[in-house]
Structure 1
Amino acid sequence: MQSSSQPSRSPQDIEVYETTELYGENGRFRVLQFSGEAVQGVLDLNHPRRVVFEYLRAMIHLMEAGNPYFEDVFLIGHGIGTLASYYSDKRFRVAEINPRVVELSRTRFGYAGDNVLLGDGRSLLAAEPDRSYDYVLLDAFTAAGTPPQFTSLEFFGLTRAKLNTHGTLIMNLMGRSGQDRLISAIHTTLREIYPYTRTFALPAEGTADLRNIVMAASTRPIPCQSRHMAGFSEITPGLGHVIRDR
């Protein structure tokens, strides 16, 4: 990736920069990135409405295939606000722990929503009324990966309480293309709470390569069409341990 402008850093080591090449694609892109970590959000300056990341397009398809008439969504992890902007006609509540991320989403990426709650996503979700959401979405990362408070049996029980009768939890995770112990444990833990789960992953060259993994869980079957999953293929995680709050 070759940047066409110098990154601008905040005290939280968040970088915003523009580049003419991203993941092998030429164009004009504005990028939000935590210093030394993976890209957190991308705006295609030539096509601002475009959803660049494949995992977001896969999540969009799962949402629309599962319930084309959904209205209420709780999203943990704001980024540049791609999903909430894409669904500006829906009722989104967005939890973001870093106020600088929210500020940059507005000043550098054009986010116009007034639906972002500042604070820990799990605590904010716990304060919401039970059975009030069609979807709970998790897209939160630190340098160490998905924060552990979002992968435990207790957290998954909380999400089920906040979802309505036909609601679904959809998570963006990172895992290795071989049998990944954490992904297996997350899947096993989910199965303790939800009777239906499906897991999808992008292809990877080697078994040690990290890749996006989208995992969905519900009290009802989870429909999708593979041709609309943006390159994600269904996988079956192995048996793992049940993750509990520490």
Structure 2
Amino acid sequence: MQQHLLAQVETEDGIITVYETQELYGEKGRFRILQFADEAIQGALDLEQQGRMIFEYPRALVHLMACHRPQFERAFIIGLGIGTIARHWADRQIVSAEASRDVAELSRRYFGCEQLRVEIGDGGLLLAEQPDGRFDYIVVDAFTSGGTPSHLTSPSFYELAASKLEEGGALLFNLMGRRQQDHSIQMIYADLQERFAHVQAFILPAGRGHDLHNIILAAAQTPIRCQARQMAGFIPHDL
């Protein structure tokens, strides 16, 4: 399928590309793509339905945010991507932390993120600068070629996040992992249980032959509320 290149930026971590295509995962249409050096698609915008969220995981995260704490006001998102979640909640007070200035600039220029509040730098350090008890949600949706940065999946980060959440707020992770015997995911889950009274895992089943799955972890001091049918295909996962 022919691709129309819009931008290409060479960074220390590789090349970041923005392009348009008329087919995405077998679906015909007009799509604008943000892609990293390993050819992993970091975000996709449907140019014919720009309010649509193409991927399942942001739909599931948005549902959790809407259901667990419907009247929430403030959220801190680590990992901007193309700003899908922040743009959806444009009427709320959302702070997005993005480690790459290039990603932030491309998202502003090509994905409608001009009005978003974006801070450039390490998400953990930027979160530490925020007032305690400020946020209803802290969302970790940050990836490098090695996966989610390890300092964002550490007990010290969970302590930090808990201090920045309002009572009843939740810490949400979008992760990639194996369905069975994934030591890293199990460790994150166990460490979260040490700090939060309620931790729940959801997994997006993949087709046969797919080893890696999207896994969402939600942690809070109060029971986590959601509706299974609204989780965009994610199902509860026993860790």
TM, length-normalised to structure 1: 0.93
What is the CA distance between 1:216 and its match in structure 2? 0.3
Report the equivalent of 2:212: 210
In the alignment, the residues of structure 1 paired with residue 195 and residue 209 of structure 2 have an alpha-carbon distance, to the nearest angstrom, of 29
Of residues 196-205 and 127-136 in structure 1, the stretch that sits farther from structure 2 once superposed is 196-205
Q: Is the 8 A contact 2:45 2:111 kept in 1?
A: yes
Q: How far is 1:181 from its partner?
A: 1.0
Structure 2 letter corresponding to 1:92: I
RMSD of aligned C-alpha atoms? 1.3
Measure, in 2, the Cα distance between the counterparts of 1:3 and 1:170: 37
Match of 2:103 in 1: 101
Amino acid at match of 1:229: M
Judge which range, 35-44 or 122-131, deviates more.
35-44
CA contact (8 A) 1:176 1:207 kept: no
Q: Is the 8 A contact 1:75 1:93 kept in 2?
A: yes
What is the alpha-carbon distance in structure 2 between the residues aligned to residue 117 and residue 6 of structure 1?
27
5+ long unaligned stretches in structure 1: 238-246
Deviations 1:142-173 (A, max 9, x none): 00000000100010011000001111001100
Question: Quick one: distance in 1 between partners of 2:95 and 2:235?
Answer: 29
For the Cα contact (< 8 Å) 1:3–1:17, is it kept in 2?
no
Cross-structure match for 1:116: 118
- Aligned residue pairs total 236
Question: Which aligned pairs between 1:178-189 and structure 2 lie closer than 5 A?
Answer: 178-189=180-191
Shift of 1:115: 0.8
Counterpart-to-counterpart distance in 2, 1:188 and 1:177: 16
CA contact (8 A) 2:77 2:94 kept: yes
Q: Which structure 2 residue ranges, 5 or more long, are not aligned? A: none
Write out per-residue CA displacement over residues 73-99 of structure 1, whole angstroms, 9 at most, x where no aligned residue: 000000111111111100001100101
Match of 2:237 in 1: 235
**Which amino acid is the alignment partner of residue 4 of structure 1?**
Q
Moved over 6 A (4+): none
Check whether the contact 1:176–1:208 (CA below 8 A) recurs between aligned residues. Answer: no
Which residue of 34, 53, 56 corresponds with 2:58? 56
Distance 1:37 1:187, change over 3 A: farther
- Please state how far the C-alpha of 1:207 moved relative to its aligned partner: 7.4
1:208 positional shift: 6.0
Aligned-residue offset at 1:8? 3.4
Residue 91 in structure 1 maps to residue 84 in structure 2: no
Q: CA deviation at 1:138?
A: 0.4
Q: Mapping of 1:8-47 within 5 angstroms?
A: 8-12=7-11, 13-47=15-49
Cα distance in structure 2, aligned partners of 1:70 and 1:183? 28
**Residue correspondence of structure 1 range 161-172 to structure 2 within 5 A:** 161-172=163-174
- Alignment of 1:68 onto 2:70: yes
Deviation at 1:37, TM superposition (A): 4.0
Report the TM-score when normalising by structure 2: 0.95
* AA aligned opposite 1:192: E
CA distance in 2, matches of 1:108, 1:191: 39
Q: 1:201 aligns with which of 192, 200, 203?
A: 203
Inter-CA distance 87–204: structure 2 relative to 1 (3 Å threshold)? same
Letter in 1 for 2:160: L
Structure 1 counterpart of 2:161: 159
Distance (Å, rounded) in 1 between the aligned partners of 2:229 and 2:207? 21
Counterparts in 2 of 1:3 and 1:234: CA distance versus 1, 3 Å: farther
Structure 2 equivalent of residue 240 of structure 1? none
- Residue 83 of structure 1 aligns to which amino acid in structure 2? I
SS of residue paired to 2:217: strand
Answer whether contact 1:177 1:207 (CA < 8 A) is retained: no
Superposed displacement of residue 62, structure 1: 0.5
Deviation at 1:179, TM superposition (A): 2.2
Q: Corresponding residue for 1:241? A: none
Q: Per the alignment, in what secondary structure is the counterpart of residue 214 of structure 1?
A: strand
**Cα distance in 1, alignment partners of residues 116 and 189 from structure 2:** 33
